[in-house]
Amino acid sequence: MIENFEYKLPDNEKIRVTAYSESGVSEAGCLIYVHGFKGFKDWGFVPSVGNYFAERGYLVLTFNFSLNGIGENPYEFTEFDKFSRNTISREVEELGIMINLASEFRFGKFGREKIGLIGHSRGGGVSIICSAENAKVHALCTWASVATFDRYSSRIKDEWIQNGFFEVQNMRTGQVFRMSSDYITEIIETRQDELNIINSVSKIECPYLIIHGEQDLAVPVKEGKQLYSAPSSAQREFIGLPATGHTFDIVHPFEGISEKFLKVLTFTEQFFKSKL
Instruction: For residue 15, give the nearest of 87, 93, 76, 88 by alpha carbon.
Output: 93
Beta bridge partners of 6: 16
What is the 8-class DSSP label of residue 145? -
* Half-sphere exposure for 75 (CA within 13 Å, toward CB): 7
pLDDT over 70 for what percent of the chain? Answer: 96
What is the 8-class DSSP label of residue 70? B
- The answer to whether 238 and 33 have CB atoms below 8 angstroms apart is no
Phi, psi of 115 (to 5 degrees): -120, 135
**Residue of higher predicted confidence among 111 and 157:** 157
**Mean pLDDT over residues 228-245, rounded?**
96
Q: N- to C-terminal Cα distance for the chain?
A: 22
**Mean pLDDT over residues 68-83, rounded?**
96
pLDDT value for 220: 98
pLDDT value for 25: 55
Domain boundaries, the chain: 2-150+195-275
**Per-residue model confidence as pLDDT tens digits over 149-189:** 999 999 999 999 999 999 999 888 889 999 999 999 999 99
Please tell me the pTM assigned to this model: 0.96
How many Å apart are CA 187 and CA 180, to the nearest integer? 12
Determine whether domain 2-150+195-275 maps to CATH 3.40.50.1820. yes
**Mean pLDDT over residues 220-236, rounded?**
95
pLDDT value for 274: 95
